[in-house]
Amino acid sequence: MNTIVIQSSQDINIPVVELFKHIASRDLLTVFHNIPFVQRFAPIDQSEVNRSLGSESIIFFEDFNSARHVFLTFINDWSFSVRIDNFTSMRLSPISAVEYQFTFFDNGDKSSIVSATYQFQMRSKIEMLLFKMLAGKFIQKHIDIFFKRIIQSSDQYKIVTDWNY
């Protein structure tokens, strides 16, 4: 299979339950913003997303193309995974599907480890190599930036929870 796997993990000073809520409520497609040759996704209202196992929705790009968004797994406070496929955009025709999974581990002492894995399933080896060269490092950088922002917000979380009035 012509698959590109991009992984990242981080130790974050937030209890696992709070971290799961924080990440699961975010629009995780922002990782793909500003990738060369990929149109931006229109904003997704996370309050309207059905996180039931197997739930499907259609997501739209700013250029009015679309894709199917399917929740593959959702285990509260532990893990979730999503598959995006059926792209209508010709720009994304090399991509057969994108799957991403976030897994959370309790690290004790109000700390958690979050692991993210993005799999890009490409239609051919040539397209896989081109995508890896053009977008692989860029996506890795965006995942790392996403985690850094969570760490920054965890510092704010720690300050708020440490205040005892």
User: Structural domains in the chain?
Assistant: 3-162 (3.30.530.20)
Closest CA to 120 of 148, 142, 97: 97
User: In the chain, pLDDT over 90 holds for what percent of residues?
Assistant: 14
Closest CA to 82 of 95, 92, 73: 73
pTM above 0.85, yes or no: no
Q: What is the mean pLDDT of residues 130-156?
A: 79
- Three-state secondary structure call for residue 63: coil
- In whole angstroms, give the CA distance from residue 81 to residue 104: 12
Confidence check: pLDDT of 40 > 80 = no
Confidence check: pLDDT of 36 > 70 = no
Closest CA to 102 of 50, 156, 145, 147: 147
